[in-house]
Amino acid sequence: MEIRIENRITLIRSVFILFSQRAIVRYKNAIQPVFTNIQREVFNPLSPQQMKELLLIREVSKELQMKKDEDLKKAEQQAAEAEAKAKEIAAQEAEEPTESTPVEA
């Protein structure tokens, strides 16, 4: 039994259409739940206990940030003082005569 080329093309088209229709039905069935409850809430409001915890976390974070800023300022101040002291010592050493340099009398 030999099938003509036109019949083969028709058969292939009908099989393709059948599978396409099945795929479309499966897609529609899969996507259906997405659109059934559009008005659902995106988030739930926080409970009073959660709000208290959140406020406490924020307060502690602010205090820690202030302490960090103070510590950084102290460190910068100490570094500046150490640098100034090092310059002062270097200047004093440059002014003091050493044993290798002769002193004019």
Q: Where are the domains of the chain?
A: 1-37, 46-94
Distances (CA, A) of 66 to 49, 59, 60, 61, 80: 26, 11, 10, 9, 21
Report DSSP state, residue 100. Answer: T
Instruction: Provide the terminal-to-terminal Cα distance of the chain, rounded to the nearest Å.
Output: 132
Length in residues, the chain: 105
Query: What are the pLDDT tens digits along the chain (105 aa)?
Result: 566 777 777 878 888 888 888 888 888 888 887 777 667 667 788 899 999 999 999 999 999 999 999 999 999 999 999 999 999 999 888 887 666 655 565
Q: What pTM, to 2 d.p., does this model score?
A: 0.44
